[in-house]
Amino acid sequence: MILYPPGVYRAEDDTDLLIDVMRRGDYALDRQVLDIGTGSGALAIAAAKAGAAMVTAIDLSLRAVAATWLNSRLQRAPVSVRRGDLFAPVTGRRFHLVVANPPYVPSEGAVLPRHRIARSWDAGPDGRTVLDRICADVPEFLTPNGDLLLVHSELCGTQQTLDALAAAGLRGRVLANAEVPFGPVLNARAAMLEARGMIYPGQRIEKLVVVGARHA
C-alpha cells in the first residue's frame, strides 16, 4: 500500500500503464534505474520490486521526497531519494533505465506552480514544458544501451515527443497506449481545451501513451 500525504500526487492510470510496460519488458531487472519526478515513489518502488540493482528517485517537492522515503521503507524497497530539479542531483551519472511520469496537463498560463499540488500536473499551455526538458536532457544520463520509459497524454503530442527525442539523438517508439476517462483536472479544463482545439467538443476520453527510447 502506497501512502499519499496531502500535496503528493496519487498514482493513477498513467503510472499503472508505465509500471505494466516496465514489468512485462523486464526493463528494470538487474539494472540501475532513475525515476524522475517520483511523487509518491510508486514507480521507483515498482522498479525495485521488479529486480532493479539500484533505484534512485528524484523530486523537487520536499513532501514528495519525504513520501517516497517513507513509502520505500514501508514497502522494504531499496530506493535512494534525492531532492532537486529533474536530473540536477545526478549530474555526471548514467543509468540503464530512466522512468518518468512528468506533469503533462495543459495549463492556463506558462508560469508553473512551485508550492501547490498542481505542480504535479500543470505543464504550460501545450503540456510540454517538462516533457521537452526531459527529452532534451535524458541522453546524457543514459548508458549506451540504456532505455527511457516515459508516459503522458496524447493531448500534448505523441509525435512531438518522438521528434524531440530524435532531435536529442534517441530513437523512440510507442510501446503501449490506453484510453481512460478524463479525471477531475481535465474535466475542469475541458472548456479551455476545446477552445484551444486540443480536444473535440464533448470529448471526455484521453489516450495515454508510454514512449520508449534509446540511443540511435
Burial 181-194 (b: 16+ CB within 10 A, else e): ebeeebeebbeebe
Domain 13-215 adopts which CATH fold?
A: Rossmann fold (3.40.50)
Q: What count of other Cβ atoms lies within 10 Å of the Cβ of residue 200?
A: 8
pLDDT along the chain (216 residues), means of 10: 86 94 98 96 97 97 94 96 96 98 85 68 86 97 98 95 98 97 90 91 94 95
Q: What would the grid cell of residue 5 be?
A: 500525504
Q: Where are the domains of the chain?
A: 13-215
pTM, rounded to two decimals: 0.93
Give pLDDT tens digits for 81-110. Answer: 999 999 999 999 999 999 999 998 888 876
Beta bridge partners of 177: 209
